[in-house]
Amino acid sequence: MEEKYIVTTEGLTKMYGRKAAAKDINIKIREGEIYGLIGRNGAGKTTIMRMLSGLSRPTKGTFSLFGMDIHELRRKNKPVGVLIEAPGIYPKMNAYDNMKIKVIAMGIKGDQDKYIKGLLELVGLADTGKKKAGSFSLGMRQRLGIALALVGDPKLIILDEPINGLDPQGIVEVRKLLATMRDEMKITVMISSHILEELGKLADSYGIIHNGKLIDEFTTEDLHERSGNYTFVNTDDNKKALEVIRKMGLEKCELDNDNMLRIKDTLSLEKNVCKALVENNIFVKEIRSQTFSLEDYYLKITSEGIPEDNTAWQYSQEVAQV
């Protein structure tokens, strides 16, 4: 079955004078997934999100949401939820009144009271009563910002650093909320975050932005294949050891750039590997296990960069050889 993309960009570029904040960005986001946009401060993440939200006009290139450009989206009244930078809330009003203003502005019909209370319950703010938003914790303000972004029932929501600065409990609350939006409400989510450990628990696909360019795009399955778990072995005869290990049925074993044996997904087989090598008169100098995470992969790929004459996919295979 052909995959359906909610977001596609082609050569999306934003220039500020002679400096490219984002250059030739080609992103594809599948319907019903959480897409994590990764990159350091100033890499171009927010610039991309602002263009997709209609808050900034591209210098060059095009993009479509639901197969429509931004003007057609507005004509057909197909909203996109947006939370970029600080939530736009009125600090002297409570959560309900903040929501009421947005509901009226969006022209929501029917039982507005029920609609507002339903969204506040969804984000865990149903019991805040008359407490003013200005006295909310950072996590509460972020959740109110997400509730405001959900007004109009968008099927795409764009969130820029929604868990940045939150305490551990606040991060868990927002993570659960985003999972609910994806799994139960069938909302596609584009999210940027510096907290890669949390993003790794949540996202289905990722894009790495580095110096204004998209240098890699991959799914969770791709990440597992490229990263995952490894056992590293060093012996007095690594070429002979390679033959022994492959005869054990461990085909995903090879010599890495440091001339060490790298075996994928064998954390539970260390004793068996060591025993087989010793039985073949091979002296084991070192054997250790290591798990590579989203953060490890990101740091590796951004520290080395992708050669101009290589594709992201090809380079990702080389990165996997660590």
pLDDT digits (tens, 9 = 90+) for 241-284: 999 999 888 888 888 767 888 887 665 677 888 899 999 999 99
Q: Judge contact between 111 and 99, C-beta under 8 A.
A: no
Domains of the chain: 1-80+154-227+293-322 (3.40.50.300), 88-152 (no CATH), 229-292 (3.30.70)
Q: Judge contact between 169 and 15, C-beta under 8 A.
A: no
Rounded Cα distance between 82 and 48, Å, is 13
In single-letter form, the type of residue at position 321 comes to: Q
With H, G, I as helix, E, B as strand and everything else as coil, classify residue 209.
strand
Rounded Cα distance between 270 and 287, Å, is 8
- Nearest alpha carbon to residue 123 among 188, 166, 189, 170: 170
Determine whether 8 is exposed, middle or buried from the number of CB atoms within 10 Å of its CB (0-12, 13-18, 19+): middle
- Per-residue pLDDT of the chain (322 residues), as tens digits, is 567 899 999 999 999 999 999 999 999 999 999 999 999 888 999 999 999 998 999 999 999 999 888 778 777 777 889 999 778 899 999 999 999 999 999 999 889 999 999 999 999 999 999 999 999 998 899 999 999 999 999 999 999 999 888 888 888 888 999 999 999 999 999 999 888 888 888 999 999 999 999 999 999 888 877 777 788 899 999 999 999 999 888 888 888 767 888 887 665 677 888 899 999 999 999 888 777 788 888 888 887 544 443 344 343 444 434 3
Q: Judge contact between 284 and 274, C-beta under 8 A.
A: yes
End-to-end CA, the chain: 35
Residue 61 sits at φ, ψ, to 5 deg, of: 90, 175
Number of neighbouring beta carbons within 10 Å of residue 287:
17
Q: Using the CB atoms, write b or e for 68-100: b if 16+ within 10 Å.
A: eebeebeeeeebbbbbbeebebeeebbbbebbb
Q: Judge contact between 95 and 58, C-beta under 8 A.
A: no
Rounded Cα distance between 189 and 69, Å, is 18
